[in-house]
Amino acid sequence: MIKKTTLETQTTIRNFLQCGEIALLYKKSFVNRRGTTTEIPRYYTEIVAEEVLEWLRHNRLKDKIVTVGREEYVVPGRDRRKKEKTNRQEEHSAKELYSYCRGGVEINGLGNIIDYQIPLKKTSQDEGVGKIDLVAYERKDNAVYLIEYKSHNNYSDTLLRAVLEIATYYQQLSLENILKSYSNELNGATENDIRKAVLLDEGCRAYKEAKELSSKRPKLSELIKKLKVAIFLMPKNSATQYCAIRMFH
């Protein structure tokens, strides 16, 4: 990978924030760029986070990202009691978490996962619109978590990408309709109870970066707080139970 200077990195992100489609920001290669700049070493993702923070001082995501407005988020015909096959390891891991929570079992610190791979597209014409990996309901705080999940073998995605991805999806969905779709599971939760979250398996790249937030990644830490994204870490555990440790928000 050819290293870039701080100025080159700043110019790239500023040009995109000025002219690009903000809903696609999380997909840009500079958001996932690893390593440091050529002069005084600084993480590329720290520079990007700093530029996004500056942009957010004058703009709001909800004014720049169009709500897709899907009416029903439960997939028609999907038997959520049945374990579906998938060739993608991360989707498989997400479904394993969901299967673990069937029958009301909760993941300590996160709650009960009530669905997985929730589509945001309203029609096939909605390009660049993804899926929310997991939805969890934590009864104690009456919190509904919309979760971007990175499994232990995801070595490519940065924490910055995960945070921007769930922040984007939050703006694209209809809060009212997601509450209606899961009304039986959510026990009277309101739109104010819906929260953005990132769940990270130990071993993935983003997990390591999350552990460095307080010491090496101050701008990313500030951006996470600004976007109000909860960060949950899931350490390796030889036991059969899962446990999520909340770091942020």
Q: Are the beta carbons of 164 and 199 closer than 8 angstroms?
A: no
Q: Tell me what pLDDT residue 249 has.
A: 60
Q: How many domains, the chain?
A: 1
- Give the CA distances from residue 105 to residues 102, 123, 139, 149, 193, in Å, rounded to whole numbers and listed in that order: 6, 34, 12, 19, 20
Q: Token pair for residue 32?
A: 């996932």
The answer to whether position 21 is within a domain reads no
Q: Are the beta carbons of 44 and 174 closer than 8 angstroms?
A: no
The answer to whether position 161 is within a domain reads yes
Ranges of residues in the chain with a pLDDT under 70 are 1, 77-87, 238-241, 248-249
The answer to whether position 2 is within a domain reads no
Region for 207 from its dihedrals, namely left if φ exceeds 0, alpha if ψ lies in -120 to 50, beta otherwise: alpha
Grouping H, G, I as helix, E, B as strand and the rest as coil, residue 233 is strand
CA nearest 210: which of 158, 168, 249, 167?
A: 158
Contact partners, residue 248, CB within 8 Å, separation at least 6: 213, 221, 224, 225, 229, 230, 231
Q: Tell me what pLDDT residue 77 has.
A: 66
The answer to whether position 104 is within a domain reads yes
The answer to whether position 156 is within a domain reads yes
SS3 content of the chain, % helix, strand, coil (to 5): 40, 20, 40
Q: Which domain holds residue 166?
A: 68-248
The answer to whether position 76 is within a domain reads yes
The answer to whether position 1 is within a domain reads no
The answer to whether position 8 is within a domain reads no
